[in-house]
């Protein structure tokens, strides 16, 4: 069945078509001027010193781990309640993901459980700002400092979210973003690393482009003959200029998108505030959500369980998604040991639901979702 309330990707408007056309007409396929323009916009917006565009957030996480020399024999602490790419990136680098349980009120890694997971092999913590809600970074930074660990943030969903009044990514040693269509803004496919470390930035630029010492754009600008060298074994993790053109146009809409998402999230929370069968998402005082997703929990007092609720809504033309996945439960992770209890992770994985929410969602459509959900949960 094709649901009539799907979760659509952001639309293409005239400005996006114009800029994409400009990128194509310029003759630059990859690493042309649009990539730099998009990087500058995101850096300025977040307050980060450097931004390096890549082909996806998965690539962003992987290339950052490689640049920081995290590999075989090393362990990285990561939540299991995340999209599988967080842990996959650790495995691509050859390191071992060590799963730590979440705080059941924020769905983010619980800082109080991190220290118990640290071993002599631990090199880094990868906090995931899940569905855009900021982790409690002060607590995580204090643990990292005490144990001399790196922090690589998975901010795939987190553009525009605030931590203690500041935009995420602006103060981070390494922060990975995604521009996949399910995120707040999109380039079709795409990712970026934000960093305040100039040495890391240089290494990331090399690694995304086969380890090549000069970019195509710089060679072109140089005019004369420039011969490149290959300093590292790199990857092809470039973002194309056409993708970056979409990103430039999407950045101009970001404030509007965030405002619409907040309005719609507030409408859901207000409508569900007295429903015993549903626990609405909460913003802790240190965070301001970007509402990349709206994910309530179906409580034990609900008349309808989570899976039945999803089926019932789908039968009425409303597409939902189960909440965030639990990576350790997937067959691909059979061989990765679970060293620490993941009770809250499994509960959230079983009980949460993601409801439709997108900037252009008409309020009448949202009202229909609200009505159907309330009728089902009681």
Ligand X SMILES: *Cc1c(COP(=O)(O)O)cnc(C)c1O
Contact pick of 46, 86, 240, 320 for ligand X (by CB under 6 A): 86
Q: Which stretch binds ligand X (CB under 6 A): 11-19, 55-63, 251-259, 344-352?
A: 55-63
Residue 181 CB, nearest approach to ligand X (Å): 9
- State the residue for tokens 């459980």: 113
Q: What gap in Å lies between CA 23 and CA 148, rounded to an integer?
A: 44
Is 90 or 373 the residue whose CB approaches ligand X more closely?
90
Q: Which stretch binds ligand X (CB under 6 A): 9-17, 53-61, 240-248, 305-313?
A: 53-61
Site pattern 311..340 for ligand X (x: CB under 6 A):
------------------------------
Distance of CA 241 to the CA centre of its chain: 22
Is 178 or 302 the residue whose CB approaches ligand X more closely?
178
Residue 154 CB, nearest approach to ligand X (Å): 5
Is 178 or 215 the residue whose CB approaches ligand X more closely?
178
Residue 247 CB, nearest approach to ligand X (Å): 12
Q: Applying CB under 6 A, does 82 fall inside the site for ligand X?
A: yes
Tell me the site size for ligand X, rule CB under 6 A.
14
Is 80 or 86 the residue whose CB approaches ligand X more closely?
86
Instruction: Confirm if 355 and 5 have CB atoms less than 8 A apart.
Output: no
Binders of ligand X among residues 238 to 277 (CB under 6 A) are none
Is 58 or 195 the residue whose CB approaches ligand X more closely?
58
- In three-state secondary structure terms, 286 is coil
Residue 134 CB, nearest approach to ligand X (Å): 13
Site pattern 144..183 for ligand X (x: CB under 6 A):
----------x-xx--------------------x-x---
Site pattern 101..140 for ligand X (x: CB under 6 A):
---------------------------x------------
Q: Applying CB under 6 A, does 42 fall inside the site for ligand X?
A: no
Those residues whose C-beta lies under 8 Å from the C-beta of residue 32, and which sit 6 or more positions away, are 23, 26, 216, 217, 241, 244
Q: Is 146 tagged catalytic?
A: no
Contact pick of 31, 58, 186, 215 for ligand X (by CB under 6 A): 58
Sign of CA dihedral 271, 273, 276, 278: positive
Copy the structure tokens of residue 4. Answer: 């009539």
Convert 322-352 to b/e letters by CB count within 10 Å (16 or more is b): ebbbbbbeeeebeebeeebebebbbbbbbbb
Binders of ligand X among residues 185 to 224 (CB under 6 A) are 191
Residue 146 CB, nearest approach to ligand X (Å): 26
Q: What gap in Å lies between CA 87 and CA 90, rounded to an integer?
A: 5
Copy the structure tokens of residue 146. Answer: 């005490």
Q: Alpha helices, DSSP H only, in 197-324?
A: 198-208, 216-222, 241-251, 254-272, 306-315
Residue 84 CB, nearest approach to ligand X (Å): 8
Is 240 or 304 the residue whose CB approaches ligand X more closely?
240
Q: Which residue in 2, 145, 166, 183 is the catalytic one?
A: 183
Is 191 or 277 the residue whose CB approaches ligand X more closely?
191
Q: What gap in Å lies between CA 244 and CA 238, rounded to an integer?
A: 11
Instruction: Confirm if 54 and 193 have CB atoms less than 8 A apart.
Output: yes
Torsion of CA 288, 289, 290, 293, to 10 degrees: 180
**SS3 annotation, 307-368:** HHHHHHHHHCCECCEECCCEHHHCHHHCCCCCCCCCHHHHHHHHHEEEECCCCCCCHHHHHH
Angle at 212 between CA 206 and CA 213, to 5 degrees: 80
Is 92 or 368 the residue whose CB approaches ligand X more closely?
92
Residue 132 CB, nearest approach to ligand X (Å): 9
Residue 230 CB, nearest approach to ligand X (Å): 25
Those residues whose C-beta lies under 8 Å from the C-beta of residue 43, and which sit 6 or more positions away, are 49, 50, 51, 194
Distance of CA 378 to the CA centre of its chain: 33
* Residue numbers annotated as active site: 183
Contacts to ligand X by CB under 6 A: 56-58, 82-83, 85-86, 128, 154, 156-157, 178, 180, 191
């Amino acid at each position: 069945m094709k649901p009539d309330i799907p979760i659509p990707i952001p639309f293409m408007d005239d400005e996006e078509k114009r800029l994409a056309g400009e990128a194509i007409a310029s003759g630059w396929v990859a690493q042309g001027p649009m990539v730099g323009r998009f990087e500058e916009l995101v850096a300025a917006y977040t307050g980060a010193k450097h931004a390096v565009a890549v082909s996806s957030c998965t690539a962003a996480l992987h290339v950052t781990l490689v640049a920081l020399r995290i590999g075989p024999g090393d362990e990285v602490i990561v939540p299991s309640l995340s999209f599988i790419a967080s842990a996959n990136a650790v495995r691509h680098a050859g390191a071992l993901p060590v799963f730590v349980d979440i705080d059941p009120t924020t769905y983010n890694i619980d800082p109080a459980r991190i220290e118990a997971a640290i071993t002599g092999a631990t090199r880094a913590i990868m906090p995931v700002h899940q569905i855009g809600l900021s982790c409690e970074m002060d607590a995580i930074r204090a643990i990292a400092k005490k144990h001399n660990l790196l922090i690589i943030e998975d901010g795939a969903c987190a553009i525009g979210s605030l931590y203690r009044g500041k935009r995420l990514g602006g103060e981070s040693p390494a922060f990975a973003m995604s521009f996949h269509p399910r995120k707040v803004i999109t380039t079709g496919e795409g990712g970026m690393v934000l960093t305040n470390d100039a040495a890391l930035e240089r290494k990331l630029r090399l690694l995304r482009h086969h380890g090549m010492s000069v970019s195509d754009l710089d060679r072109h600008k140089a005019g004369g003959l420039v011969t490149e060298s290959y300093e590292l074994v790199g990857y092809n993790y470039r973002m194309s200029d056409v993708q970056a053109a979409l990103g430039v146009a999407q950045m101009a809409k970001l404030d509007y998108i965030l405002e619409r998402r907040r309005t719609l999230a507030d409408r859901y929370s207000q409508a569900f505030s007295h429903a015993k069968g549903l626990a609405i998402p909460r913003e802790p005082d240190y965070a301001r959500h970007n509402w990349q997703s709206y994910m309530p929990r179906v409580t034990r007092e609900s008349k309808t369980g989570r899976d039945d609720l999803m089926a019932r809504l789908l039968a009425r033309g409303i597409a939902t998604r189960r909440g965030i996945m639990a990576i350790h439960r997937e067959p691909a992770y059979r061989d990765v040991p679970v060293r620490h209890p993941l009770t809250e992770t499994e509960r959230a994985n079983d009980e949460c639901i993601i409801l439709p929410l997108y900037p252009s969602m008409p309020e009448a459509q949202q009202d229909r979702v609200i009505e159907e959900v309330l009728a089902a949960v009681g």
